[in-house]
Each structure stands twice: as C-alpha cells, then as structure tokens.
C-alpha cells in the first residue's frame, strides 16, 4: 500500500503546501530576491504549516472550541525560527508553553505534532515546558538561553506568552554578568569546533568566526544587557554605533543569500562553504575575475570583508558592554598615573581623555604613540580608545605621515614583543593600510589553494608573529634572528612580501615596488630601502634553491651568496624564508625544512667569510681521514678508496664515516643481480630514510621503481638522492613520511617497506604497482575534481653546467612521482638528483637529468619532446586515477 494513503489528510495537505511553497520561493530566490526576504517568507510558510497541523490536531484530539487546550498553551517559535531567518531546510524550533494543570493534554498534543511534522518533511525541535520551567532552564544554561531569547508568539494563550517573555527579559537583565560570561564561553566552544579564525579556507557559514553566529551573538548579548535582540533597537539604545549596525545588516543579508542558495542547491541543510561550493557560488553570482585574480578569489574576498567586519563589530560590542567588577572600578583610579594630560597608564590598560578621543584619535602619529607606550608599559589600550580610533579611521581617506608618525611606526617595527598582535589590531582598525602601500588591496584577499590557510593580509602579519617567536629557538634560525642588529627591515619585508598577489604581474615584482613606495613614505635610508626591496623581491629565492636545486653545487651557492652580498642580509632572508613557510599554517614549517634551509644558509655564509658556530672547515677533512683508516681495514683497500673519491658531496657530508663504510661493504658483496634495502627512522626529523644499493646496468630505471614502491605503501617522498658511484654501482637514498602512522612506524611496517622496495627494484617486468586511494574529506575530494591546475613542465639549462634541470608542476596524487620518473626513464634520461616538494594539493618535482652520454640536453627539439612527453604522462596518469 502506498504510504501516502496512510497519512492524515492534514499532513498530505501540509506536504503539498511545503513543496509548492519551497518551489515558489526557490524561483523568487533564483530571480534575485534578497536573502532576508526569502527567509521571512520561508518562516511564514513554516508558520502556516505548523498552524494547520496544530489546528488539525486539536480537532482530532477533541481539544478545539472555547474551552479547549488552546487557552492553556502557547506555541512559541525560538532560535532561528523565532528570529524569522530560517533557511530552506532548517529545523523548526518550537516550544509548547503550557499551564501546569494542562501537562498531560499538552504532552499528547506534542506527540501528535512531532509525528505529523516529521511526516510532512520538517524536523521539529520541540520542548514542552511551563513558563517557570522555561525561564529557570534559560537562566541556568547559556545555550538554552540564547535560543529562548529569540522568541515570538505564534498562537494560543497571549497571557501565558507574556508571562514567559516579560519575566525572561527582566530576570535576564538582572543576571547579565553571569549570562555575559556563560554565553561567551559557549560560543568559544563552538568556534573551536567549527573554526576560530575569520580567514579559514573552508568556513562554516553559520558557525565559524565572523559568520552568522557573530550577528546572533550581538543579539543574544544585547537581550541579556538591554532586553532587546533587534540590531536596530540596540543602535537606538546607544550600545551599538550606526555604522556597526549597518555592517551587521549588510553581512547578515549577504550570508543569508548565500545560505539559501547552498540549501536550495543541495536539497538539504548545508552550511559548509567548501572549495567546491566556493567555485560554484562564484560562477552562480557572476564573478568574472581578472588576469591576476580568480573569480572564486573575488567571491571569497567579499565573504571575508563581511566576516572580518562582523568579527570586528562583535569584539567591540563585547568590550562596550563587558561588566567590570566593583573592586576593579574602585582600585583602578588609585593605581593609575598620567603620562601627560590626555594619556593614563592603569594596572591593566592605557586609557585616554575625552579630549584625546575627540581631537587626536584620527591622527596616525598619536595612535602609534599609544602603541609605543603600550609596548613600553606592557599594557593594552582600553576599549573606548580603540573604539574612537576605529570609528575615526572609517571616515578618513589617505593620510600623510609626519616625522613623529614615521619614528613611532619604525620604533614599533623594531621591537618584537607583541608585534604580531599590535599589527593585527592596527589592521583591524584600518590604520595599517594608511601606512603600508598595497595593504588595502591585499585585505581579505584569498589565495585559492590548499596550501595557504589565511588571506594575504593575515598571512603577512602572521609571518611577522612567527618570526618574533624565533627569539627563543635554540638553533641556527634562532641565532640568526637574535643576532640581527636591526630587525625592523626584516619585519617590514615580512609585512610586505606577499602584498603583490592578485595581479597579472609576478607578485614579487609588484611587492618590490610596494617596498620602495613604503620605504619612501617612511623615509628610510637608501641602504635600508634597497635591503627592503631585495628581501621582498627575492623572498622565494632561498626556498627555490633549497628545495628545487642541488645545493651541493658550489657554483650555485657561490652565485647565491654573491647575489645576497652581505651576512646581515642573508640572515634576514633565511629568517624571512622560514617565517613565510611558518605563516602558511600550523605544521608547515617542520624541522626538516629548517634543516634544509639551514644547510644552504651555512654554506652561503662561508662564502661570505663567516664560519658559523659548529661549522668547522676541518670537519670534512677529518671524515676523509677516518674513511682512509676504514679502507685500510678492508680486504680490498683500493676498491674502497675508489668509491670514497666518487662519493657525491651531499652523501659524504651527511653520512657518518662508519655508515658509509658499512653501506659500501654491502655493495661490494652484492651478487650481480642483487640489491640491498635498509630503512631507518630519524626521530629528530620524524622521517624515514630509505637506502637502496644495486648495480646500475642490472637494474635500469631504479629511481621510478623505488618511487612506485614507496608511494604504493602510502609514503610521501620529501626528497631523494641518486648517487652513482664507481664501477657502475648505485646508492640511492629517499626521505619519506609515513601517512599511516605518527612517530616511529612499527618494525613490521619497516620490514614490509624494505621487502616491497627490493621486490620492485629487481622486478624484470617493471610492472606498475597498485596505488591505494588516499582517504580524504568530502571537501577535499570535491576540490580535487573542480580545481586542478594544468600540468606545467619547465627545463632550466642555465643553472647547472652538467645537467638539464626538469621541473614538473602538477596536482598531487598518490603515485604521481612514479608516473613522472618512469616517463623520464622511458625518454632515455638518467636522473642524478631529485628534489620533491609537495604543498598539500600541488607538487613541484625537480630532476637533474642527463642523456645517454651523460651530457645535458641542448637540442631545442629534444627539449620540446621531453616537455610534451612528461605533460602527456601526467595527464594520462590523472585520467586513469580520477
């Protein structure tokens, strides 16, 4: 039997009403109706259905009529349903208030309504309470309170509703202090779960910081403070400025429009703004992009403008109404002293007079003076002063820095303590964009990839914050930062380095112009201006060389050192490079990257005449002497000496002498068609080192075989060394991260890894391995299908005299390195060095290659053939694995 035939007529009618109403509102939404308007009409639609179900239930239960249940109960929408901003597939939050004597009858009604609403297709979040119970629960649980604060009358006893609503309002205002802190704690817990940063890559439209919850938080706190939830009413009461009121209204309209679209498109509740949705919405709303900015980046920039505005308004509103203890209000004046007639230093904050707020809050030099004092006294500036600055900055355009302002700003940039926090506040207030050229363009600018976690302006400030923390590091990075005579040029370079993004031109070149313009505005000396320009324009060079070039090539290191020119500038470039990684997001700068960058830093310093602590020029000589001693103990000393002299510099530098001798002894004993594989966990870097030794002629293409075995076991390859020794021997080393374990892998897994690699290396058929799909989140899977950048192959014939350097830029997948390296082998090229750099969803694989004769490839036609073959190989691999 058709289940629809078993439904009550009232339910069937309500289902039809819901379907028709949703379809009508979807058409209105598609035609451009404002989000608030669609939500209001959706609420009216839900009201109609609830009332129809309610009336039908009263009749069926015999509770209709003048003496029926309607006189003893009240239907009270609350939460989102109460404030009339429901989305197409929102739940219906409904409280049934009842007179104490009517509990049994009200419970029967509630049971009937829950069933009928479910049959209609709406989720009814219901509660059954007396006014006293509802008020008691609301005033003891912040989450319940925030929902009940958004209440309205729907039907039933008006007097019962007024009893509840009036008492809740009056008692909430009396309990404001407790509710204030309880609401903030509940909101903090939710933000931790859904995202505590405004600039998350994939925010939750409702619950992430700066989203709809921020607007609602103002309403809830406003109700607790003043008994009012409406933004307009709070503005009229003077606790919210008119400009802040407008910011919240505009953001709410934008968010509701987007949320309605996401619900209608999904056909269900959906508030997660993942990358797939971002791309779809940018297209849906007609963002066209520019040559330097994708449409989706334009769309997300608008989102972040709204979310950062909400975040700023909410923060200021919280401070405006924050309750102060009587003890603090009594003692603070006694513990406060004047700096001058307008500025006061208290036990916790620095405050200003009414005259300062009225006359000086719009002067950048005065604001910077306050910042300087805040650093000097280790105090924060009080909220009324911040609020006066924020409102004034919104009304003024470009400014001219006077001498005092320049000195103050450079003083701030010279002192690491709390510098990141100070810059963040200056950015929120709109002061920073008055000083730093390029900051207005970069504000809320999204970098649409899985690598960067923050918008451009926040990333730049975050890199400054990261650099200041290096003060406490006990390594070369910490020493480099601490030893800088003047840190302000480094901090300025970090603040500017990525501001040139979003244009067609290379962002480093745009940033270099911004650096010179900022230097002129701050009247830096010509030498400092040139240092700032160099650091910004060359901020990617050190990471490029460290992770994509052979840094054991002395000529390359010498050229780099000459280009930098001074030890002080090299220190700053080293710190800047590390901080640029660090500011991308948690865990991006790991010990491995610091070590690799540190090796290039130390090698370059030696060429600039500086021998860093722990770097002795005699170290390598001592190792060679030790190797000679070990050779004399072998049966064939001449063979070992020949191998020692053939060792590549990187292998010789990084490997202990005893281990070199041991691995060469294993090579010497290998049968003609044999191989040995060893796996070692390096705890200091949390990586696995894989060493493979074999005969080059017996096992051609050993590199891609190892890459295939490692990838098939879910290992991410960080870097690889391909060492060709004397007598046709091969000793390759891979550094990998195990995706299936944290910390040291189990012995069984290490053995499995060694066994599988050896099997594949010696496989005569060179059969491709099977790659297991990686587990990814729904958002990542969606993004992988909708945003795949085109494969790009570049060949550098100028850096190395011996090798052609092939760079492959592609979207990362399990087994991609195998596909690329196998294609290189099929082209008849030999790989001597490999640099593997994976940035979450993008990979840059670099190979130093030579032809069959061991020479670099010079013929342009051959080079084009290599490019085309590699692109085809990557695209074919992608097609097979999508």
| pLDDT single digits (tens) 722-776 | 777 888 888 888 888 887 777 788 888 888 888 888 888 888 777 777 765 543 4
Strand order from edge to edge, sheet including 830-839: 675-682, 687-695, 729-738, 715-724, 830-839, 842-850, 804-811, 792-796
Confidence of residue 619 (pLDDT cuts 50, 70, 90): low
**845 — alpha (psi -120 to 50), left (phi > 0) or beta?**
beta
**Would you say residue 696 has pLDDT above 50?**
yes
The per-residue pLDDT for 201 is: 67
The per-residue pLDDT for 290 is: 80
The per-residue pLDDT for 252 is: 96
The per-residue pLDDT for 334 is: 64
Lowest mean pLDDT among 9-13, 97-101, 686-690: 686-690
| pLDDT single digits (tens) 73-86 | 999 999 999 999 99
Distance (Å, rounded) from C-alpha 349 to C-alpha 381? 5
Query: What's the residue count for the chain?
Result: 882
H/E segment holding residue 719: strand 715-724
Distance (Å, rounded) from C-alpha 688 to C-alpha 682? 6
| pLDDT single digits (tens) 542-567 | 999 988 888 878 888 888 988 898 88
Confidence of residue 99 (pLDDT cuts 50, 70, 90): very high
Helices marked H in 121-157 — which ranges?
131-138, 142-148
Confidence of residue 200 (pLDDT cuts 50, 70, 90): low
Distance (Å, rounded) from C-alpha 588 to C-alpha 535? 21
| pLDDT single digits (tens) 355-390 | 999 999 888 889 988 888 887 777 778 888 888 888
* Token duo for residue 586: 């948690």
What's the Cα-to-Cα distance from 633 to each of 630, 647, 664, 777, rounded to whole Å? 5, 19, 13, 56
| pLDDT single digits (tens) 244-277 | 999 999 999 999 999 999 999 999 999 998 888 9
Q: Which of the residue ranges 61-70, 572-581, 623-632, 710-719 has the most confident prediction, judged by mean pLDDT?
A: 572-581
Lowest mean pLDDT among 440-449, 687-696, 740-749: 440-449
Mean pLDDT of 583-589: 83
Mean pLDDT of 399-425: 87
The per-residue pLDDT for 15 is: 94
The per-residue pLDDT for 729 is: 84
The per-residue pLDDT for 338 is: 79
The per-residue pLDDT for 464 is: 96
The per-residue pLDDT for 264 is: 96
The per-residue pLDDT for 348 is: 77
If one compares 728 and 129, the residue with the highest pLDDT of the two is 129
Percent of the chain with pLDDT over 90: 42
Confidence of residue 175 (pLDDT cuts 50, 70, 90): very high
Percent of the chain with pLDDT over 70: 91
| Torsion angle, alpha carbons of 230, 234, 240, 243, to 10 | 60
Distance (Å, rounded) from C-alpha 724 to C-alpha 445? 47
**Which of 498, 494, 486, 489 is CA-nearest to residue 467?**
494
The per-residue pLDDT for 537 is: 96
N- to C-terminal Cα separation, the chain: 43
Q: Per CATH, which fold does 178-321 belong to?
A: 1.20.120
If one compares 479 and 592, the residue with the highest pLDDT of the two is 479
Q: Could you check whether 3-174 and 178-321 share the same CATH topology?
A: no
If one compares 510 and 606, the residue with the highest pLDDT of the two is 510
Mean pLDDT of 825-833: 87
* Helix, strand, coil share (%) of the chain residues, nearest 5: 60, 10, 30
Mean pLDDT of 500-511: 91
If one compares 725 and 4, the residue with the highest pLDDT of the two is 725
The per-residue pLDDT for 397 is: 76
Confidence of residue 198 (pLDDT cuts 50, 70, 90): very low
If one compares 198 and 618, the residue with the highest pLDDT of the two is 618
Question: Could you tell me which CATH number the domain at 3-174 has?
Answer: 3.30.460.10
Q: CB–CB of 440/297 below 8 Å? A: no
Q: Average pLDDT of the chain? A: 86
The per-residue pLDDT for 192 is: 60
**Would you say residue 329 has pLDDT above 80?**
no
Question: Can you give the residue ranges of every domain in the chain?
Answer: 3-174, 178-321, 436-607, 656-881
Q: Is 503 helix (H, G, I), strand (E, B) or coil?
A: coil
Neighbouring CB atoms inside 10 A of 471's CB total 12
The per-residue pLDDT for 53 is: 95
* Token duo for residue 250: 């505009």
The per-residue pLDDT for 444 is: 78
The per-residue pLDDT for 675 is: 87
The per-residue pLDDT for 328 is: 59
């Amino acid at each position: 039997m058709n289940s629809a035939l078993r439904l009550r007529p009232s339910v069937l009618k309500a289902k039809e009403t819901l379907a028709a109403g949703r379809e009508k509102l979807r058409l209105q939404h598609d035609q451009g109706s404002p989000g608030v308007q669609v939500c209001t009409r959706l609420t009216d639609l839900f009201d109609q259905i609830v009332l129809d179900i309610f009336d039908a239930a009263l009749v069926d239960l015999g509770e209709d009529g003048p003496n029926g249940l309607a006189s003893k109960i009240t239907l009270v929408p609350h939460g989102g349903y109460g404030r009339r901003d429901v989305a197409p597939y929102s739940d219906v939050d409904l409280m049934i208030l009842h007179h104490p004597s009517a509990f049994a009858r009200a419970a029967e009604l509630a049971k009937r309504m829950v069933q009928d609403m479910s049959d209609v297709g709406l989720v009814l979040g219901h509660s059954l309470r007396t006014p006293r119970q509802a008020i008691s629960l609301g005033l003891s649980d912040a989450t319940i309170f925030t929902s009940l604060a958004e209440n309205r009358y729907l039907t039933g006893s008006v007097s019962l509703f007024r009893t509840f609503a009036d008492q809740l309002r009056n008692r909430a205002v009396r309990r404001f202090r407790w509710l204030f802190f309880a609401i903030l704690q509940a909101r903090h817990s939710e933000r931790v779960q859904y995202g505590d940063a405004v600039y998350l890559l994939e925010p939750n439209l409702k619950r992430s910081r700066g989203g709809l919850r921020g607007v609602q938080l103002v309403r809830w706190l406003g109700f607790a403070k003043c008994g009012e939830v409406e933004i307009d009413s709070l503005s009229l009461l003077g606790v919210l400025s008119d400009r802040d009121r407008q910011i919240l209204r505009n953001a709410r309209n934008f968010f509701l429009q987007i949320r309605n679209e996401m619900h209608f498109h999904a056909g269900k509740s959906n508030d997660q703004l993942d990358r797939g949705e971002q791309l779809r919405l940018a297209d849906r709303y007609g963002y066209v992009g520019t040559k330097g900015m994708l449409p989706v980046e334009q769309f997300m920039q608008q989102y972040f403008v709204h979310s950062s505005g909400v975040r700023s308004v909410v923060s200021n509103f919280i401070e405006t109404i924050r309750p102060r203890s009587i003890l603090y209000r009594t003692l603070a004046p006694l513990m406060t002293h004047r700096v001058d007639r307008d500025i006061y230093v208290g036990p916790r904050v620095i405050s200003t007079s009414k005259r300062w707020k009225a006359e000086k809050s719009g002067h950048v030099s005065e604001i910077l003076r306050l910042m300087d004092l805040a650093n000097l006294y280790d105090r924060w500036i009080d909220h009324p002063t911040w609020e006066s600055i924020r409102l004034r900055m919104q009304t003024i355009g470009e400014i001219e820095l006077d001498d005092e302002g320049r000195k103050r700003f450079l003083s701030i940039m010279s002192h690491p303590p709390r510098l990141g926090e100070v810059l963040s506040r200056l950015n929120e207030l709109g002061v920073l964009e008055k000083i730093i050229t390029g900051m207005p363009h970069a504000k809320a600018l999204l970098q649409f990839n899985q690598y960067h976690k923050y918008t451009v302006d926040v990333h730049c400030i975050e890199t400054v914050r990261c650099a200041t923390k290096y003060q406490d590091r006990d390594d070369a990075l910490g020493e480099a930062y601490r030893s800088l005579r003047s840190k302000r040029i480094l901090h300025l370079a970090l603040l500017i380095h990525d501001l040139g993004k979003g244009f067609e031109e290379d962002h480093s070149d745009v940033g270099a112009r911004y650096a010179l313009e900022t230097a002129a505005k701050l009247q830096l000396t010509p030498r400092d201006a040139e240092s700032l320009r160099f650091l910004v324009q060359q901020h990617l060079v050190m990471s490029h060389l460290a992770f994509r070039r052979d840094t054991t090539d002395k000529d390359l290191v010498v050229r780099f050192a000459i280009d930098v020119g001074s030890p002080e500038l090299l220190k700053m470039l080293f710190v800047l490079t590390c901080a640029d990684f660090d500011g991308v997001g948690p865990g991006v700068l790991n010990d491995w990257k610091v070590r690799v960058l540190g090796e290039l830093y130390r090698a370059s310093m030696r060429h600039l005449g500086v021998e860093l602590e722990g770097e002795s020029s005699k170290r390598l000589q001592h190792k060679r002497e030790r190797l000679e001693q070990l050779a004399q103990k072998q049966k064939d000393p001449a063979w070992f000496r020949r191998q020692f002299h053939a060792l590549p510099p990187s292998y010789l530098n990084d490997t202990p002498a005893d281990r070199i001798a041991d691995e060469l002894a294993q090579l010497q004993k290998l049968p003609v068609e044999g191989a040995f594989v060893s796996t070692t966990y390096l705890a200091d870097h949390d990586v696995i080192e894989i060493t493979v030794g074999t005969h080059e002629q017996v096992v051609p293409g050993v590199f891609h075989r190892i890459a295939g075995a490692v990838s098939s076991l879910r290992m991410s390859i960080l870097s690889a060394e391909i060492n060709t020794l004397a007598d046709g021997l091969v000793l390759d080393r891979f550094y990998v991260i195990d995706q299936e374990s944290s910390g040291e892998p189990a012995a069984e897994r290490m053995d499995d890894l060694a066994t599988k690699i050896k099997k594949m290396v010696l496989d005569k058929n060179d059969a491709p391995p099977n790659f297991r799909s990686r587990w990814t989140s729904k958002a990542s899977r969606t993004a992988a299908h909708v945003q795949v950048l085109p494969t790009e192959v570049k060949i550098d014939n100028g850096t190395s005299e011996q090798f052609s350097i092939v760079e492959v830029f592609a979207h990362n997948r399990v087994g991609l390195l195998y596909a690329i390296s196998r294609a290189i082998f099929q082209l008849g090229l030999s790989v001597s060095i490999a640099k593997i750099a994976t940035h979450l969803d993008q990979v840059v694989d670099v190979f130093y290659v030579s032809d069959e004769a061991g020479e670099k490839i010079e013929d342009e036609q051959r080079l084009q053939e290599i490019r085309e073959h590699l692109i085809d190989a990557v695209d074919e691999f992608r097609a097979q694995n999508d």
